[in-house]
Amino acid sequence: MMKEKTIPLSLLDLAPITEGNTLSDAITNSVRLAQAAEKAGYHRFWMAEHHNMVDIASAATAVILSHIGAKTEKIRIGSGGIMLPNHAPLVVAEQFGTLEIMYPGRVDLGLGRAPGTDQETLQALRRETRAKGLDFPDMLDELQHFLAPAQRGQRITAVPGAGLDIPLWLLGSSTFSAQLAAQKGLPLVFASHFAPDAMLAAIDTYRSGFRPSESLAEPYVMICVNVVAAENQSEADYLATTELQKFVNLGRGVEVKLPKPVDDMNALWHPVEAQRVLTQLRESVWGTKETVRTGLNDLVRRTGADEIMVNSWIHDADARIRSHQLIAEAWN
């Protein structure tokens, strides 16, 4: 009898700055969440780079990952992701090389090609603004060069960074990164938590075009999905109204801290907005442990995912921790 494949469970955090709380609270709560995730058996704790957003505190991603690494013991830490067009590849190699030296065998480097911000902020980040990340493959080649073992006579070396075993991942919300990950023989993380339309096409593009590499012999797909778990369905639905408000505000271009849940979304959104948001969030899973288990199993069945990464837009820090504990209990 064949043994069932084990699907690891990982966690994405954006250090949300919630209504009524501060930046310091956001970072403290991310530490608490990482510690709880480690205890609950999560495989990875990743953080995402975003800039000039009033509800996200993870802009200096490598810095906050270092803090998380110091407050945990064994859970893998990584970026989901570093937005490579915002940075010189040498600096990224040095930063994550430093993390790997400090927390050996625990560091992942997930990479995205979007800026994670608006065009004005992109200018302020002091990188040349090039058309829609079209130079991303070249920047990836440069980064891989600096992370490879230094060659004799090499004038510029990432110290630390060169020759360290830091797994690279490509993040995608379209077929572009899926195709590039396939060509490079790298694992793919797909953002079904906000881009479900391209999910199946991207996965098919990746698997069909995959070329084995030194780092990866077979395709490896991680799917990121929004999940809210609670003791009962009504509580989960209530907590999930924070996620719904988040995406309503994104659509409206409204910048506010992550809002508290509400009893009635119909008092806040127009039917057209409701349709747009619910369509965009159709892969989200909200409910009890049983509902979460069923929803995640269905996602794995449809995608063949090798790993699941969960993201949660929950206002209350204790409820967010409890949600992730329930998700882990459901999955394990």
Q: How many CB atoms lie within 10 A of CB 31?
A: 16
Per-residue pLDDT at 4: 57
Please name which of 102, 11, 6 lies closest in space to residue 324, comparing C-alpha atoms.
11
- Position 312 in a domain: yes
Residue 1 included in any domain: no
Q: Walk along the chain (332 residues) and give the pLDDT tens digit of each residue.
A: 334 579 999 999 999 999 999 999 999 999 999 999 999 999 999 999 999 999 999 999 999 999 999 999 999 999 999 999 899 999 999 999 999 999 999 999 999 997 656 777 777 776 555 544 458 999 999 999 999 999 999 999 999 999 999 999 999 999 999 999 999 999 999 999 999 999 999 999 999 999 999 999 999 999 999 999 999 999 999 999 999 999 999 999 999 999 999 999 999 999 999 999 999 999 999 999 999 999 999 999 999 999 999 999 999 999 999 999 999 999 98
- Quick check: is 4 in a domain? no
The whole-angstrom separation of Cα 161 and Cα 254 is 40
Q: Is the pTM of this model over 0.75?
A: yes
Angle at which helices 233-252 and 271-280 pack, to 10 degrees?
110
Which conformational region is residue 306 in: left (phi greater than 0), alpha (psi within -120 to 50 degrees), or beta?
alpha
Q: Return the sign of the alpha-carbon dihedral for residues 273, 274, 279, 280.
A: positive
Amino acid at 1: M
Residue 2 lies in a domain: no
Residue 108 domain-assigned (yes or no): yes
The answer to whether residue 76 is domain-embedded is yes
Q: Given this model, what pLDDT does residue 129 score?
A: 52
Our count of domains for the chain comes to 1
Residue 228 half-sphere exposure toward CB, CA atoms < 13 A: 24
52: left (phi over 0), alpha (psi -120 to 50) or beta: left
Domain that holds residue 82: 9-331
Distance CA 98, CA 294 (A): 40
Q: Per the domain annotation, does 87 fall within a domain? A: yes
State the CATH number of the domain containing residue 102.
Answer: 3.20.20.30
Q: Residue 3 falls within a domain, yes or no?
A: no
- Residue whose entry in the numeric block shows the structure tokens 């400090």: 102
The reported pLDDT for the residue numbered 124 is 78
How do strand 188-191 and strand 221-229 relate by DSSP bridges? Answer: parallel
